[in-house]
């Protein structure tokens, strides 16, 4: 880690450009308004912090971010913004993508324009198969859900019900958990899907409670709906009934866990990053993030994906000598590996997806707040 991390965070604004330098334009498409605006803010914060730390010049060329807001809920807008970035702004690299529908819609643009597309959050499994120019640095839901199911099996947790959001990542999460859980000899007690924008969970939780499960596996995108679910879970007495709450990183995301409050305590989740991750690099990252953006906002897994997305871009450009040709750029990332605040990450040369450690965490009340504390792990998990 660059020893000037904290100093860079304090002076986050990137230095004025040298007009003699050639510029590489990175079109960063993020949800900066609407229900998923926190996604875009966190990803953008991580990306800018990486640039503040490592400088805005790679292979003698200046990096310029061109940020666009796609609201996260309109795939055709995401696609149109990508087309405009390529055609009008002459973007060399497309990046960002908070939600899977928008990223899936944009893959065709990357293919047609032969532009690298660095995905910093969207987690639908099929995404990298939609274009040879897509590289993902975040995660897939099966990459998290399968270890969660294996942990449940190892700990003899039976009578499991699942509840997932009814869109591609949620369906991926539910299917992967079910496949791994049933492959281990258990059967699900029941399954339910909910609209992705749902905030009223009373009837769903009551139906699950009436089935008398021992545990419930949940995937919901972090936000208002997740907070509502967790509060309803406690109100319906699920925790007092001894029902274990299992989920992915999204369920107790660092950006919302304090808003959830006490109902989050005791949740067991599988995730690839926690603010509380114990490593020197992460401690530096968390301190730099706080210095740059304030102590009221924690870095979460999306911020780290933004940070690592820029790490991927810099890695590729260093290898190509600044050449942004789509084939050369993607080729340079196949098999690439680097140290991240979440641990070591690598790009699978066959799938162009991320390989990383998935941690099993318990949400606990600690001095200073509520955190997801890692106590087990599944190393070198490939995305699928």
**Cα–Cα distance list, 7 to 43, 225, 310, 341 (Å):** 21, 37, 19, 18
Tens digit of pLDDT for each residue in 287-333? 999 999 998 899 999 999 999 999 999 999 999 999 999 999 999 99
Whether 127 and 40 map to the same domain: the answer is yes
Q: Does position 3 have pLDDT exceeding 70, yes or no?
A: no
- Three-state SS at 354: strand
Write down the pLDDT at residue 368.
Answer: 84
Q: What is the DSSP string of 10-58?
A: HT-SPPPP-TTS-EEEEEEEE--SSTTHHHHHHHHHHHHHHHHHH-SEE
CA dist 270 and 216 (Å) reads 14
Give me the DSSP letters along 131-154.
-TTEEE-S--HHHHHHHHHHHHHH
- Residue 201 sits in the same domain as residue 52: no
Q: How far apart are CA 166 and CA 29, in angstroms?
A: 24
CATH code, domain carrying 156: 3.40.50.2300
Name the residue range of residue 220's domain.
141-271+359-381
Measured CA to CA, the distance from residue 83 to residue 112 in angstroms comes to 10
Whether 201 and 67 map to the same domain: the answer is: no
User: Count of CB atoms within 10 A of residue 367's CB?
Assistant: 5
Q: Are 285 and 369 part of one and the same domain?
A: no
Instruction: Tell me, yes or no, whether 18 and 165 share the same domain.
Output: no
Question: In this structure, are 149 and 264 located in the same domain?
Answer: yes
Grade residue 384 by pLDDT with cuts at 50, 70 and 90. Answer: confident
Same domain, 245 and 164: yes
pLDDT digits (tens, 9 = 90+) for 349-363: 999 999 999 999 999
The number of distinct structural domains making up the chain is 2
Rounded Cα gap, residues 343 and 54, in angstroms: 18
Clarify whether residues 206 and 105 are in a common domain. no
The model's pTM:
0.92
Same domain flag for 246 and 282: no
User: CA nearest 342: which of 366, 367, 374, 315?
Assistant: 374
Is residue 186 over pLDDT 50?
yes
In this structure, the answer to whether residues 238 and 373 fall within a common structural domain is yes
Cβ-contact 205, 238 below 8 angstroms: yes
Q: In terms of domains, do 214 and 340 share one?
A: no
Task: Report the 3 state secondary structure along 229-292.
Answer: HHHHHHHCCCCCCCCEEEEEHHHHCCCCHHHHCHHHCCCEEEECCCCCCCCHHHHHHHHHHHHH
- β-strand pairing of 337-340 with 343-347: antiparallel
Q: Extract the tokens encoding 322.
A: 């600044």
Confidence band (pLDDT; 50, 70, 90) for 197?
Answer: confident
d(CA 146, CA 169): 13
Write the pLDDT tens digit of every residue in 85-97. Answer: 999 999 999 999 9
């Amino acid at each position: 880690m660059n020893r000037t991390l904290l100093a860079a965070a304090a002076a986050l604004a990137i230095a004025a450009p040298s007009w003699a330098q050639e510029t590489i334009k990175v079109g960063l498409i993020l949800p900066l308004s609407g229900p998923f605006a926190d996604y875009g803010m966190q990803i953008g914060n991580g990306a800018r912090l990486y640039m503040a730390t490592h400088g805005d010049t790679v292979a003698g060329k200046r990096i310029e971010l061109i940020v666009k807001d796609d609201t996260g809920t309109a795939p055709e807008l995401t696609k149109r913004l990508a087309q405009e970035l390529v055609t009008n702004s002459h973007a060399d690299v497309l990046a960002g993508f908070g939600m899977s529908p928008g990223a899936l819609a944009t893959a065709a643009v990357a293919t047609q324009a032969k532009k690298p597309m660095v995905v910093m959050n969207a987690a639908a499994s099929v995404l990298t198969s939609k274009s040879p120019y897509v590289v993902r640095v975040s995660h897939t839901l099966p990459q998290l859900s399968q270890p969660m199911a294996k942990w449940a099996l190892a700990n003899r947790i039976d009578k499991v019900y699942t509840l997932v959001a009814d869109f591609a990542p949620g369906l991926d999460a539910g299917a992967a958990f079910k496949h791994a859980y049933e492959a281990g000899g258990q059967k699900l007690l029941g399954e339910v899907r909910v609209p992705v924008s749902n905030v009223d969970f009373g009837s769903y939780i009551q139906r699950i409670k009436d089935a008398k499960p021992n545990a419930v596996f949940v995937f919901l995108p972090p936000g208002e709906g997740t907070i509502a679910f967790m509060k309803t879970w406690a109100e319906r007495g699920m925790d007092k009934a001894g029902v274990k709450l299992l989920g992915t990183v999204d369920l107790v995301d660092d950006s919302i866990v304090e808003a959830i409050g006490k109902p989050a305590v005791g949740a067991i989740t599988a995730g690839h990053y926690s603010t509380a991750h114990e490593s020197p690099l992460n401690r530096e990252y968390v301190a730099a993030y706080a210095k740059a953006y304030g102590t009221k906002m924690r870095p979460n897994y999306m911020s780290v994906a933004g940070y690592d997305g820029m790490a991927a871009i810099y890695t590729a450009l260093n290898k190509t000598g600044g050449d942004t040709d789509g084939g050369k750029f993607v080729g340079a990332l196949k098999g690439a590996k680097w140290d991240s605040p979440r641990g070591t990450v690598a790009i699978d040369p066959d799938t162009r997806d991320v390989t990383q450690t998935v941690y099993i965490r318990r949400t606990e009340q600690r001095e200073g707040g509520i955190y997801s504390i890692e106590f087990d792990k599944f190393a070198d998990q490939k995305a699928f």
